Homo-oligomer: A and B are copies of this chain.
Amino acid sequence: MTSCITRILTFVIIGGTFPITGFAQQMAFQWTLVASGVWKGVAGKAETISPLSVAGIKPRLDGLKKLGERSFPTDLNESVHQQTDNKTYLRFPLKKGEQLFGLGLNFKAVQQRGTIKTLHVDHYNGKDNGRTHAPVPFYISTLGYGVLINSARYVTVYAGTGVRTDSQEMPPEKDRNTQRDWSAQPYSDAVEVIIPASGTEVYIFAGATPMEVVQRYNLYCGGGTLPPKWGLGFTHRTPTLFSDEKVLQEAAEFEAKGYPLSFVGLEPGWQSHSYPNSFVWDSTRFPHPQQFLDKLLQKNIRANLWINPYVSSHSPMFKRVLPYTGSHMVWVGRVPDFTMAQARDLYKDLFSKQHLSVGISGYKVDEVDGYDNWLWPDVATFPSGIPSEQMRQIYGLQFQKMTDGWFRQRNQRTYGLVRGSNAGASAMPYVIYNDYYDHRDFITALITSSFIGVLWTPEARSSKTSEEWLRRMQTVCFSPMAMLNAWADGTKPWTFPDVAQDVKDVMLLRMQLLPYLYTTFAQYHFEGKPPIRAMQLVDGFTFDSKATAATLHSTDNPYAMAVRKDLNDQFMVGDYLLVAPLFAGEKSRKVLLPSGKWYDFYTGNFVGEAAIIEITPGLSKIPLFVKEGGIIPMIPPVLHTPKKGEKLALTVRHYGKTEANWAIYDDDGETFDYENGTYTWTQLEVRKNQAGTLTGSWNPTRNNGFHYSTITWEFMTK
């Protein structure tokens, strides 16, 4: 911990030192250890409302303790803060060669050094400028630390762009006329931050690796969410004006054709009024909600309800909720102030009665992000007195927290969709989605979600060609929520006949991988490791990120901006599975394999080691690679996730030629009993016998919700 000192800035220049007026004093932080490897500092006067306060985080102290002790990252000793122009300024040092990740859910770039962002909850609209669904003010450094600015304001981050006159390592001045190494972006030695508020909390997370930093962040925020098992099956959303009968017919069609389905999503028309919303069932389309949901559940299918939070005058709670709504409307619907318990209670009453008690399993929470054109403006006021800027930043997060609480009280896990989130969301049972539909960018978002404690789904909606359809369905099956959201144009998994079988295959592969996926989520929960992992979080990953020289072009690139190399199109699912998707139009692609041997998932063949390989995999399968010693437990290709207590045969694949062991997780798959210890980790072990042959073994305890009856070992690499 550094002592609190103040500094007077001076300009040291050739010929003398000038004291500078107009500079307020910069203060060093005073860091307090708040958990193993986690420190808190306060700049100025921190505000009451913050992402972490809204998320109501409960750090997983057991997990943090397991990660061990770390000392304060000395690289951050020189961090300072300052009050200026009714704002709070923060500065954190940055070393040459250091790389940064995080800073919100980004759709274009993984590496963040050299970027500028104003972090602002909004619909993502094509540029990584900070306006995104989860603008988490958190960054991770390759030097082994993370910085979280726990502010619910529009935080602007200059991630290594500004060059200060008092820099200890000022870059040399160049003549652009004559020196070819003139750069539009000279070296910057700091991350600088400005927060339009009186102050903020700052958290530092230490770690030997970026992964350890992310683990600490997720564990401090309560550990990652552990979805119910049905949440990891396949989901499909039905047209907005469908009746109960039509929904049941569509579910039956999946069954008849042999495509898996674990939950259906009902779009706005399940309500009597929507946009704004009554939140009550439409009595013509859904005359008997309970009976309808019972029928679905008999088929082992759950139901999710679309909502947005904005209240119609036709809602039964309209009059009562009015005093707790803001000055501006969204589509002529009232905007509840959920920081007020009165508003939350009214929602809980109505939603519990209308939805939870009849069997609804989760929500899709729309339009808690943007656009500015229809959300409440930043000039809006709210009855609690909370500024609309803060309300915008925490609205989606607060809705997640509120609904999560309802389900927890019922000891029932939920798993839903949301468009707005922020810091502290790791434990929230929600996956982020949006309407932006660029496939490549969707995959980059999947990767960047792994740094900031949120989940993302590259949902499939529609496609121009069967190739695109298959490519989209392949990738959504390797994401936190395998969702088809094509209700508006009616595309079904089998719509393109020439790829219908390939689509079915990858959907069933998703189902087979359930034990692996579920364990991966258990790692998220207990160890803080995200289920989807950027390559940059993987041990043995190296990547030359040096800026490559760019060419001046008078109109396209007048400042000869260098383009940084980035790796934004491959990722890991869990410990072993490397996914390298292809996009429509591509016949081949490059895959970067980290150090260690890698094997083809489908054949077990060796493919490379610490190399960039070129693959031409054909259309039918998504390229998957497994690390040396990889253990992948699988179940048969079921159409629904197993019911509580249902026992399944386990097939465990092993890849490579080395001994290995891996723990598989299981529990009841539905309740929060695992929070009280009702779960099982079972070791899957592969050893060489004296003849050098690999053999597998396990010793299951068969209690606490362990669902696997028999085991078959498959040694994939010959």
* A interface, CB within 8 angstroms of B: 9, 11, 13-16, 18, 20-24, 84-86, 89, 91, 114, 116, 156, 158, 161-166, 170-177, 182, 184-186, 192-194, 196, 240-241, 268-269, 271, 273-276, 282, 312-314, 319, 322-323, 325-329, 331-334, 372-374, 376-387, 389, 435, 437, 461-462, 486-489, 552-555, 558-559, 561
Could you pull out 11 A-B pairs where Cβ atoms are within 8 angstroms? A13-B322, A20-B327, A84-B387, A161-B373, A175-B274, A177-B268, A177-B282, A182-B275, A186-B331, A373-B561, A437-B555
Alpha-carbon distance A309/B170, docked complex (angstroms) = 20
This protein's copies in its complex: 2
Query: Are B171 and A332 interface neighbours, CB within 8 A?
Result: yes
Contact of A175 among B172, B273, B461 (CB under 8 A): B273
Report B-chain residues with C-beta under 8 Å of the C-beta of A322. 11, 13, 18
Decide if A165 touches B328 in the complex (CB within 8 Å): yes
Scoring A114, A162, A165 by chain B CB atoms within 10 A of each residue's CB, the highest score goes to: A162
In contact, A373 and B116 (Cβ under 8 angstroms): yes
Q: How far is the CA of A639 from the CA of B319 in the complex (A)?
A: 76
Contacts of A331 in B (CB 8 A): 174, 176, 182, 184, 186
Q: Are A177 and B271 in contact (CB under 8 A)?
A: yes
- A194 to B387: give the CA distance in the assembly, Å: 12
Complex contact A379–B89 (CB within 8 A):
yes
Q: A369 to nearest B CB, angstroms?
A: 13
Q: Given that A85-B387, A175-B273, A555-B437 are known contacts, is A161 also in contact with B377, CB under 8 Å in the complex?
A: yes
Known: A14-B313, A488-B552. A378 touches B156 (CB 8 A): yes
| Across-interface contacts of A387 in B (CB, < 8 A) | 84-85
Q: A24 and B381: CB pair below 8 A? A: yes
Whether B327 contacts A166 by the Cβ 8 Å rule is yes
User: Which B residues are in CB contact (< 8 Å) with A314?
Assistant: 173
* Whole-angstrom CA separation of A359 from B236 in the bound complex: 74
A217 to B8, CA, bound (A): 45
User: For the complex, what is the distance from the CA of A653 to the CA of B107, rounded to whole Å?
Assistant: 58
CB neighbours of A384 from chain B (8 A): 22
Given contact pairs A173-B313, A192-B377, enumerate 14 new A-B contacts (beta carbons under 8 Å).
A9-B327, A11-B322, A13-B322, A20-B323, A22-B381, A162-B376, A162-B380, A163-B329, A165-B329, A173-B332, A177-B269, A186-B332, A435-B555, A462-B555
Are B462 and A554 in contact (CB-based, < 8 A)? yes
On chain B, the residues within 8 Å of A329 by CB distance are 163-165
A668 → chain B, closest Cβ, in Å?
37
Interface contact A20-B192, CB-CB below 8 Å: no
Q: Are A332 and B194 closer than 8 Å at their CB atoms? A: no
A176: which of B196, B275, B282 is its contact (CB, 8 Å)?
B275
Closest to A378 in B: B194
**A332–B174 contact, CB under 8 A?**
yes
Q: Is the CB of A194 within 8 A of B379?
A: yes
A171 and B24 alpha carbons, distance in the complex (Å): 49
What CA separation (Å) do A437 and B553 show in the bound complex?
12
Q: How far is the CA of A566 from the CA of B194 in the complex (A)?
A: 38
How long is the Cα–Cα vector from A383 to B11 in the complex, in angstroms? 11
Q: Which residues of B contact A20 (CB under 8 A)?
A: 323, 327, 383
The answer on a CB contact under 8 Å between A162 and B268 is: no
Distance in angstroms between the alpha carbons of A271 and B175 in the assembled complex: 10
Complex alpha-carbon distance, A268 and B182, angstroms: 14
Nearest residue, chain B, Cβ from A386: B22
Q: What is the bound-complex CA distance between A89 and B13, given in angstroms? A: 44
On whether the beta carbons of A241 and B177 are closer than 8 Å, the reply is yes
- What CA separation (Å) do A85 and B386 show in the bound complex? 9
Q: How far is the CB of A303 from chain B (nearest CB, A)?
A: 18
CA distance A561 to B327 in the complex (A): 24
